Amino acid sequence: MTYFSKKYLTLTALACLSLSLTGCDEEAKQSLPSHSWQLVWHDEFDGTAGSLPDDTKWGFDLGNNNGWGNQELEVYTNNPENVSLDGNGNLVITAIKNGNSFTSARVKTQEKFAQAYGRFEARLKTPYGPGVWPAFWMLGDNVGEVGWPMCGEIDIMEMRGQAPSTVLGTVHGPGYSAGNAISGSYTLQANRFDLDYHVFAVEWTPNQLDFFVDGYLFKRITPQDTPGQWVYDHPFFMILNVAVGGTFAGFPTDQTPFPQKMTIDYVRVYQ
């Protein structure tokens, strides 16, 4: 997901190239050292159906903000029809079409929780369809002072709804943002991410970011992989959203079914 304007015309190609260049050491990378992770923050989304998420943990981005710099179409709201608990231990973010307009939701832990380093994970089921853009991602908590991309961005999971079998893990920083972002992709074989829950995670240490799907390490990024400054040395906050349209996913078509839902079982953070 993105904070300010980006052009993703080359992102898929970059992702495929990065995977082809690192494929030879995939087996070695799976032999990972064990970690004694300690749970420090979590939300299991227990609560009454139709209620908003816990306001001690989550806030909202609202409106369209000139397309969020990405030509997005949706207006973000905090209406329960767009974002609410389902009463079964899930948070549901719903993108809705109203004539030629769209509403959705974007929740964030900004000014409520941020952390440097550790494991950040969510178990969720994605939406699908052309022009639908779900994401679980993070921004540096100094974004208000230094701006984007200097604050850093870590996209733990994002996808194009027209390609529901493939997700990407990406970082954006000074000198490698927008279409020059550092990215890797993971594709399910004969399956789709909207059909069942999957766990998306990043394990972050001072000199390394490891991206996982269901425990499988599909992309590792180190300072040597970035052509610009390594800015992953301060606390980041988390964001969950479903965008509609934009330069990354393209725009909805007559074949895009609405409403579309991202169903989040939990979000957990470890040190």
Name residues whose C-beta falls within 8 Å of residue 188's C-beta, 6 or more positions apart in sequence. 165, 166
Name residues whose C-beta falls within 8 Å of residue 181's C-beta, 6 or more positions apart in sequence. 6, 11, 14, 170, 171, 172
Q: Tell me 178's DSSP state.
A: G
**Secondary-structure percent of the chain, ordered helix, strand, coil, rounded to 5:** 15, 40, 45
> Tokens at residue 107, please?
């929740």
Q: Choose among 13, 15, 10, 9: nearest CA to 155.
A: 15
Q: Which residues are catalytic?
A: 153, 158
Taking the CA atoms of residue 229, residue 187, residue 215 and residue 17 in that order, the dihedral angle to the nearest 10 degrees is -30
Q: How far apart, in Å, are the Cα atoms of 54 and each of 43, 47, 130, 140, 266? A: 8, 9, 31, 22, 13
> Tokens at residue 264, please?
């989040």
DSSP letter string, 59-95: EEE-B-GGGGGTTB-EEE---TTTEEE-SSS-EEEEE
Q: Choose among 58, 30, 28: nearest CA to 43.
A: 58
CA–CA dist 267, 271 (Å, integer): 14
